[in-house]
Chains A and B, each alone.
Chain A
């Protein structure tokens, strides 16, 4: 079933070509999530009764990588969210995306790709398959953000989100690999049976941090949240679907899924809770200052995701306690997290859709230009009120319930403090409360700055009017859910939250009374906190103009976006400079590198292997002829590099060659001596030829310039090679094989061993050498005869 979106993604272009002009392609697409949604619905009773469904499709059995789907409460919540919100978003996009102007086939292919990847992600049991789907969501999200690729901002946003999420994805992959090393399995199920091994392994902490990096980047947690506001360049249905309801929750899913593996430790507890709280605080405060409605919603999404993350972190403490009262009160946080996850998807999805409507109907999303739309767009107004008030946590909307549960959880953390941070945990409720006040303020901004106040028709391009009914249906359905969930929260609790709790905190059960979500608790601290939020938020909203200037005080240079851009630009600059520094385009420098490394590597190898020990006992004696020739050789070699004119150098080089052939004579190698003589003559002639044809200009008849580096390098190479040769002579481990060749007359019918080796024993080398010779000859011929480039100039 998971593959249905992928199969359909292949078919979409054909459908678009066949009847894209007559019928909106979205009508075909909507069937996919709808059928999947219905398919998943039938599993609810089964999962609610505590069962799980497992299926296996072999992919790479030899590597233990198989597409294993595993459905439990947690996966089912996500499955239903993805398909349910997916259906509504596709429905919305049918009315939102123009049939004539937009490249719909691209749009729906990317979208189906994303949907399939997301479903694969939540149902995978194999971590490597999970990673594959994880990256597929990153890629399809990248494609969707840059859907209007002719806009520069879209491309910037797409690149930014790609860089950050892929960075996290790769970190997560290495975390996964560490986990699989520790447990010797790729299956999450099987990892859970080896918890003892994992917690005692030294890779526990690195694996955990790397995995959390993946989760935090995907879920836009602080400080990786910066990609989400820029991802708002995507079409609004995409923002509603990916960047509020589904993809950003992949990180939440990952944290929840691995809570049984890592949870119960203080590191996990404080990292997840802490990052969640910071994100919650940062997101809600940043949202207030936004001028663009979509950016505002992006920051609010960041803050709500932080809230869920914080709850998951708090809930993980219940694994630490194992049994008793604390276990249950902390497990309540996980329940709250899952509940808020569902609630957030409903109200945020509808809010995005409504803002898309406002954008389409008025032509702007800028809150400074909007206002007084209440009477013009009454239905949108109603939907916005429902969504915003749910987000702010006001009854009778579902956000109220999950916010109350959130307060309960943070108060619990303050009471039953764990992991030794007694004073610190008292701050948690305070931070949460302040963040909620800011949440209330930006919710008020969404509603009142857009719909109340004076209508300013001169500032907007279009005449504002209510949207067509088709566009309003999907957000209306979500808004209905927002209210329905408030009145019957226990249906959700029984069918979704408790099975999910079983999956996140295995072995811990909350009894029915605890898990019952009540709209009315009586006058307890949580309610007082909510009232405080409303009062403080309302006052601060009224005085908004008085203190909004505070945002301008904060220096631009310290914003995360600025840091990101500066580091990107900086790394580009630095790498360019570094490359420019060492890639000098001068062969002389490259030779210095090559020889330098040769000296260092060979030198250290000789030093370490004690190859510098030279034993001269076995060497033969030096006779007078040899000594004489060596002296002559040295003299001619020195002449070569001390000579003022090139002609001297050529002649000295020739002398060197002839002396070498004389050396061959002394060492009884007549064939070599003959060849050396002839070859030396030819090379000397060729050198003279080159010398004759040197260009007139810049004829240098000076001595070679002295350079210290060159001298050090050349002396170093000479020393190293000398030591190497002398040392190697000392380390003869085996007898020579030359005894075999001495029998060449019987073996090859030749008395000349050298020639017998060349043509008979090792004939292949000779054959290839004459090939080399032949190629050299042809090369010279072509170089001289074929002068296409030169001919063109003449």
Chain B
């Protein structure tokens, strides 16, 4: 890899925290503000790409031992399962519901099944994006 990329690596270490935090914000904020599963997932993927750029693919893979193909498949499966779950309570496929609960720390919070579906979307996006980039780079 590139020698003497101390600055890049240091900046990455600091920036990655911000990127991931922002991605999580985009993801959870998606319900009421711009953002959501797709953009959240893409920005996580871009954070991962930054990691791959500044460090080595092997190094990153050692620290994040995840098969992203499986992540993508799991995302699709999760989206499908949340859709299926509404069938068990006698509602049509993909019927989302929501409610308001008192939680210990957050106070009155809105919880929606749509968020679970969004998690599926985000995982599928992350998995696919990273799979594509990794396979292309390994080919070179």
Contact = CB atoms under 8 A, between A and B. Distances in A.
B75 A749 contact: no
Contacts of A681: 46
Given A675-B39, A771-B76, A750 B32 contact: yes
Q: Which of B26, B110, B112 has the most CB of A within 10 A?
A: B112
B114 A774 contact: no
B135 A773 contact: no
Contacts, number: 132
Contact of B75 (A675, A774, A776, A778): A774
A747 to B, nearest CB: 10
Interface stretch (A261-269, A395-403, A473-481, A754-762): A754-762
B30 A780 contact: no
A781 B120 CA distance: 21
A742 to B, nearest CB: 14
A777 B43 CA distance: 17
A767 B132 CA distance: 20
B73 to A, nearest CB: 7
B89 to A, nearest CB: 16
Contact of B120 (A686, A748, A770): A770
A678 interface: yes
A96 to B, nearest CB: 72
A671 interface: yes
Size class of the contact patch on chain A? 35 or more
Contacts of B69: 777-778, 781
A776 B136 CA distance: 13
Task: Enumerate the 9 nearest inter-chain pairs by beta-carbon distance, A residue then B residue, closest first.
Answer: A749-B98, A777-B128, A670-B34, A751-B32, A770-B124, A763-B94, A755-B36, A759-B114, A777-B131
B136 A689 contact: yes
Name the prevailing secondary structure of the B interface residues.
helix
A675 B117 CA distance: 18
B80 A767 contact: yes
Interface in B92-140: 93-94, 96, 98-99, 110, 112, 114, 117-118, 120-121, 124-125, 127-129, 131-132, 135-136, 138-140
Interface in A376-397: none
Given A760-B96, A763-B94, A776-B128, A671 B34 contact: yes
Given A748-B114, A763-B94, A755 B136 contact: no
Nearest to A669: B34
B72 to A, nearest CB: 5
B30 A755 contact: yes
Contact of A752 (B36, B46, B99, B124): B36
A674 interface: yes
A284 B132 CA distance: 80
Contacts of A778: 69, 72, 131
Secondary structure class of chain A's binding surface, majority of residues: helix
A617 interface: no
Interface of A: 670-671, 674-675, 678-679, 681-682, 686, 689, 693, 748-752, 754-756, 758-760, 763-764, 766-767, 770-771, 773-774, 776-778, 780-781, 784-785
B98 A748 contact: yes
Residue of A678, A689, A754 contacting most chain B CB atoms (<10 Å)? A678
A770 B125 contact: yes
Tell me which of B34, B37, B112, B129 has the highest count of chain A C-beta atoms within 10 A of its own C-beta: B34
A748 B99 CA distance: 10
A738 to B, nearest CB: 18
B66 to A, nearest CB: 14
Contact of B128 (A678, A686, A774, A785): A774
B33 interface: yes
Contacts of B79: 766-767, 770
Given A771-B76, A774-B76, A759 B135 contact: no
A672 to B, nearest CB: 9
B27 to A, nearest CB: 10
Contact of B131 (A675, A770, A781): A781
A553 to B, nearest CB: 77
Nearest to B117: A759
B35 A674 contact: yes
B13 interface: no
A763 B97 CA distance: 12
Interface-central residue, A758, A773, A778, by most chain B CB under 10 Å: A773
A687 to B, nearest CB: 12
B139 A784 contact: yes
A767 B95 CA distance: 13
B33 A752 contact: yes
Contacts of B139: 784
13 contacts: A678-B42, A749-B99, A751-B33, A752-B31, A755-B31, A760-B96, A766-B117, A766-B121, A771-B76, A774-B124, A778-B72, A781-B69, A784-B139
Contacts of A686: 136
Given A671-B36, A767-B83, 5 more contacts: A764-B94, A770-B120, A777-B69, A777-B128, A781-B132
Given A759-B121, A766-B121, A776-B128, A750 B136 contact: no
B31 A770 contact: no
Kindly name the residue among A671, A763, A770, A780 whose own CB sees the greatest number of chain B CB atoms within 10 A: A770
Interface in B1-56: 26, 30-39, 42-43, 46
